[in-house]
Structures are given as C-alpha cells and as structure tokens.
Structure 1
Amino acid sequence: MAYFRKVPSKKAKSGYTWSFTIETGVDPLTGKRKQTTRRGFATKKEAENAAKELSTQLENGLNIIDNKMTLNQYLPKWLEMAAKRKVKDTTFDHYQNVINFRILPILGHLALRDLNGTVCQKFFNHLLDQELSERYIKYIYNVLNTSLEKAIDWDLILKNPLRKVDLPKERKRKYTVWKREEIHRFLQFAKDEDLHYFALFFVCVYTGIRRGEVLGLKWEDVDLKDGTLHVQRNQTYLRGTYSYGSLKTESSNRIIKLDDETLHILMQNKKRQNELKLLYGPQYSAENLIFSRKNGQPINSATLAKIFNRIIKKSGVPKLRFHDLRHTHATLLLEAGVSLKEVQERLGHSSIKMTGDIYAHVTNKMKNNASKKFSEYMQEHS
C-alpha cells in the first residue's frame, strides 16, 4: 500500500509537491516495518505512477533499499544473530577481532547503502599498505563478504560491493624446516633446559602433530601395546577458559604409529608425572593430560611458544614457528622415502593433493631421485 502526501515547497510554482511512501516488508533485525519514501513529484498522478512502478519492481523480486544502518550497527548484530550460531567459539572470537580491530575502525561509520566497489577497494588497498599478509587480508575479506551476503538475504542491501574488489594474489608460503642435526641440537638443549617440555617437543618432531592437538592429548589416547597415539581432540583457550573440542577436519582424527624411542620418552614423562602427583596430592589436576604444567593443569599455548623460542635462541638453530615442527617432520619423512599417501594420513590432511601442494619442493626432489635411481638400475643391467 502506498501513502501520498502534499509537501510544501517554495521552489514549486504551485507551492507544493507530492510524495509517496510505500511499505517494503519487515526489517529482520528490528522487527519494524520497512518503508521507502520518494519526494518531489509535481502532481499526484506522477507520484501514483512512480509508486506503481516501485510496487511492480517489488512484486518482481527487486528490493527497494533505503537503509541508513551503519556497519557499526550492523556487524555486531550479524555476529550475534548469524555467525555465533554457525561457527566454533574460536572462529567466532577470530571474527570479532577482525571486525573490531580491522574493519570497524575504518568502515564502521559508513552506512550499508554507502558501501560501493571504490570504497571497498580503497579499504583493502589500505590493508596492503599496512604490509599485512595476503592470507590475512583474504581472511578479512571472507569475514566481511560473508556478513554482506547475509545483509542481502535480510533485504538490507541489493548487492555485495565486494564482488568488484580485486585482492592481491596469495603467494606460496615458503616453509622453514630444520635439518636432522639442527633437530638433535634443539632437542638436546630442550632436554637440558626442561625435561617437562622436552618430551612435548620430541613428540611433535617425531609425529608432526599440531600444537592444539598435542596440548589436548590424554593418557587414554596412548596404546602402549600397539605403540599408537590416537589424535582425537584439540585444546583451545578462549576468554580465560580451556576447552577440548573437535579437530580441524574429520581426517585430522587419526591414529599415529609411534617408534620405540618416542614410546620410551612418553613413559619417562608418565613416570615424572606420577612423582608430581604424589608431591601435589589432591591439588594435582584430574584432567589426565599427557603434557601439562607440573600440577597437571593445561599448558597455555602462549607459554609454550615463549619456552620454544627461548630454547631456539639458546641452541642457535634457525628460528621457525612452532607449527614448522610439523613441516619439518613431513619433509624428513618424504626425504626418507615415505610415500606421499602415508605422509597425508600421518598428518591428517584432508587430501593427498593438499599434501602434495604444500611439499611440492620435496616431492619434486623425490621425483628426481626416482628418475636417477631408475636410470642407474637400467645401466647396471644393460
């Protein structure tokens, strides 16, 4: 239904113009009716014709948007009403950080209707000028893009302005890995520094397990008879609370075969824990974690990173990220002749293509070795 009004106007010869207001549905965020108003028509007939045209557009599925809601108003509501119900707590926390510290300080004052391709392109160019990684910029893009697609579903905007934005091409990451002698040097310094953390570092190097996975391991995950380790949970730390949830992907839930030395290291760690249980008594945590603080409580990932970096500095080995222990393990497996399929299963990758893409530099070396070995074999028997 349309409503028509005479509006006083000094510029019009008649002393007035006509306007109309047409209802365009209900705002899903506020529950209030949405209306669009058009002004400046010389006659009521002109206003009626324009209103009829808009009604026809609505019937044909074209949204008539006149929304003054800013990103400061919209994005928190999107987080609460949509994102919170679809993603894990840790992912939701990452979304909040991206929105509060990257998007809103620059775009928050803008109304949804004022977002366009030019504004958005300038925003992402600004992120590039700040020397953020291409990967992180793509993550910011994905968060904003998801929110704007939902704004379309909620009839707040007609189209997503990010579709016109060009993002920098993500460069292939160069992974830093340690050589065998560097691993031995690091582990020796770790052993001298703190036996408690030495066992954790050793298991990471010898299994390729992720940081959240190793911090979530419990003693029921180890089968000493079969010599296996079941990776089935991930530790997260959010707003002062530790929790244990599902793994990154379904394929991440896996059973890793352990060598005798790793089993021995684990049992030595278990022996030290039993001694600490006697020392702490009832104050020792009942979480049954394989790797914990001396009182059995969970290890904070930030504390782990701090100790890791300290031992790197003392041992003099090349600096790398904690996650690069995983890449080191995989690289050495491939160089040792382990098949790509076995490495994929051991790391818990969702596909063999993913493993091959990450370790292409190693697999190419393996292909060259295979070609050389075949040639040498053929020459021996010619």
Structure 2
Amino acid sequence: MKGYFRKRGNLWSFTVDIGRKTDGSRNQKTKGGFKTKKEAEQACAELITQLSKGDYLEPSKKTVQEAMEAWLESILKSTLRISTFDNYSKAIRKRIIPVLGNLKLKNVNPDHIQSFYVSLSREGLSPEYIRYLHSILKSFFKHQVRLQNITKNIVEIAVPPRIGRKEQKTWSIEEAVRFLEVAKEDNPFYYVVYVLALYTGLRRGEVLSLRWKDCDLKQGKISVCQTLYYSNQQFHFLEPKTSRSNRLVSIPETVVEVLMTHRVEQEKHKKQMRNAYEDYDLIAANEMGRPINPRSLTGHFRRTIQKATVPKIRLHDIRHTHATILLKLGEHVKIVSERLGLFMAD
C-alpha cells in the first residue's frame, strides 16, 4: 500500500488505494491542502499505518451544528441539572454554533478553535467565559471521539486564555447598612431577601427558595436544602448542587427579629389578599405569594444601589461581602467557607 502525490497550485495532496468497492471499482482516499510535499508524505504515512492496523475511521460528514444539537438533546438534556443544561444550551446556540456550526466535524482543526478564542477576546468576553466555552467544546469533541465520528479531540491542543487574578468587589459594614436602610423603605418584599443574603451569605436561589419550615427562629437556625431556578417562565425548586450546599446556617438575633416582624406583616397581607394569595410557605414571596423572579430581584438590586449611593457590585458579591465582614471580625476561614457552602480541604 502506497500513496501517490500531486501538487495543485501551491498545495500538495495524496491519494492512497485501499482496496476495491463492492462494485469492483478502486476505493481511494484523497487528502489535500498541504503546504509542502513533506507534510503530505507524513499524513499519508499516518493514514497507511492506521489502515494497516485496522484503526482507520471514516470521518463523519456531519457538521458541528448537527452533531452539537444531537449531543444537547440526546445526552445533555437527560444528564445535566436544568440550570446547567440551560447555560450550556445558551452558550452553544449563541456563541459556538454561529461561528463553528457550518464546519464539518472532520475538518475542524486547532487553528479554528484558537481563532475562535481570539475573536471572543477581541469582542471583550472575559477569560472565565472563554474557558467555560473551552470546557464545553472539549466535552463535545471527546463525545465525538467516543462515537468514532472523529479520531482525536483537537480541542485539547488549543489553548484558552489564562484567568488573571481579579479583585473582588465588596461593601463595608457602613455601606451594607446604608443599602439595607434604603431597601427597607423601598420594598419590604425584597428587603428581607437582602437581609438574609448579607447576614447568611446564601446564594440568590437559596434565599428565594427558603420556606418558613426551614427556619427555627427559637434556635436561630436556617436549613438550606433547596434552590430556586427560573426557566422558560417556570419556577423550579431544585436540590442543592453539592452536598456542601445542603447545610445549617446560624442567624443572629437581628435577623431573627427581622424575620419575626416580616412574618407578622406577611400574615396580615395574606388575609387581605384572601384566596388570591398562593401560599408556597416562602419567606421571600411577592405580593401574590408566588416566588420572586430572580431577574426582577436583580433589577431592583441595581436600582437600590443607585438610590443608596453605594459602590456598584453584583448581587452575587453580597456573598463576598458577608465573607469579608466575617473574616474582618475574626471568624475562622473554615467556618466562613462552611457558611457559604464551599468545600475546603483540611
């Protein structure tokens, strides 16, 4: 078995006879696009070795888009949490498919992937997000290798941008107090969310899913056992992402008093609303008793920041503020990590 080489314009190609087809005609494999004859010879030798060992796979004719959509629906949809699947789906359909979707699986090379990362960086996307896309692509091509649609995972060769160290934005105790004062006057339904977030370090979804039965106000304890996720105009109460997320958090007397007052006001509001109030037993509920939409909360948070004239931070940064304040007050870092539901090795 040997190859035949040919130069077309400035590029080289090769052809290898690999036997006969069922109709008796010659079965040949041709590959081109090599800059030098030496490159073509090396690729030809590699193909002949694969054929000799029986390791050769006929490359898939599917496009990246066809294979990715099949991967999403047949594998990811049934194996990932709904929140994780939604994030994967958005990233794939918004970022990956528009750029790489029309390429044939067999034709994707490391240069395509590397150029993709460069274009994302120029667009202003963060290194963290680009590395997130890198992890999705890596998993996708690993799956295609497993299906024998391609022979190797070319994404492993590409290099995503390095993540630099970022300074976390947090509030001082004075700034946090000023924010809470403004929030209390503005909207009592959201005020209790901010109090819980700042004093416990719970995630947004964890605060929004807290029920009264999860609270022991006499002992000053809150049990974190679920999280709220909003998708396709539906609320989903999900299990915590990890075993560490399922935890018991202590709350100070200040928060106990806020919750007791809030409960009294909530009961009054229920009676006024009568049958129109949907009782989910939620601590943080909207005027109709339903869960608070996370996006609405985020919008209110930004507006309240402006009113309170405190530094602009993300809602998630309240967790960092909580941790920073505890550490400044002398709390042990392991205790802080446990409150946040984070894993910390001994």
TM class by shorter-chain length? 0.7 to 0.9
Higher alpha-carbon Rg = 1
**Closer/same/farther in 2, CA of residues 332 and 97 from structure 1, 3 Å limit:** same
1:115 matched to 2:108:
yes
Out of 230, 243, 251, the residue aligned to residue 258 of structure 1 is 251
1:313 to 299, 306, 314: 306
1:291–1:298 CA contact under 8 A, matched in 2:
yes
Q: Which residue of 2 aligns with 1:20?
A: 20
Deviation at residue 79 of structure 1 after TM alignment: 0.8
**Greater relative contact order (Cα < 8 A, sep 6+):** 2
Q: 1:57 aligns with which of 50, 53, 64?
A: 53
CA positional deviation for 1:117:
1.1
TM-score, length basis structure 2: 0.86
Partner amino acid for 2:240? L
Q: What do residues 21-69 of structure 1 show as CA deviations (whole Å, max 9, x unaligned)?
A: 48xxxxxxxxxxxxx95269xxxxxxxxxx99766422xxx24233221
Of 118, 125, 136, the residue aligned with 2:118 is: 125
Structure 1 ranges of 4+ moved more than 4 A = 51-56
RMSD over aligned CA atoms reads 2.1
Structure 2 letter corresponding to 1:20:
R
**Pairing 1:136–2:132 present:** no
Give the TM-score taking structure 1 as reference length.
0.78
Aligned length: 311
Stretches of structure 2 that go unaligned for 5 or more consecutive residues are 1-16, 31-46
Report the CA distance between 1:18 and its aligned residue: 9.4
Query: Paired residue for 2:269?
Result: 276
Q: Give the unaligned 5+ runs of structure 1.
A: 1-16, 23-35, 41-50, 354-382
Preserved contact between residue 285 and residue 295 of structure 1 (Cα < 8 Å):
yes
Structure 2 CA distance, aligned partners of 1:37 and 1:98?
Answer: 41
Decide which moves more: 197-206 or 152-161: 197-206
Once the two structures are superposed, residues 138-178 of structure 1 have per-residue CA deviations (whole angstroms, 9 ceiling, x without a partner) of 11111111011000000000001111111111112211111
| Contact in 2 for aligned 1:230/1:254 (Cα 8 Å) | yes
3-state SS of 1:82 partner: helix
Query: For 1:91 and 1:326, how far apart are their aligned partners in 2?
Result: 21
How has the CA–CA distance of structure 1 residues 52 and 151 changed in structure 2, closer, same or farther, with 3 Å as cutoff?
closer
Offset from partner CA, 1:68-118 (integer Å, 9 cap, x none): 210121100011122122211111111111111101111111000101111
Shift of 1:246: 1.2
Aligned counterpart for 2:74 among listed residues 69, 81, 94: 81
CA distance in 1, matches of 2:18, 2:221: 80
Partners of 2:195 and 2:49 in 1: CA distance: 72
Query: Secondary structure at 1:166's aligned position in 2?
Result: coil
Separation (CA, whole Å) in 1 of partners of 2:287 and 2:18: 79
Q: Which amino acid aligns with 1:38?
A: Q
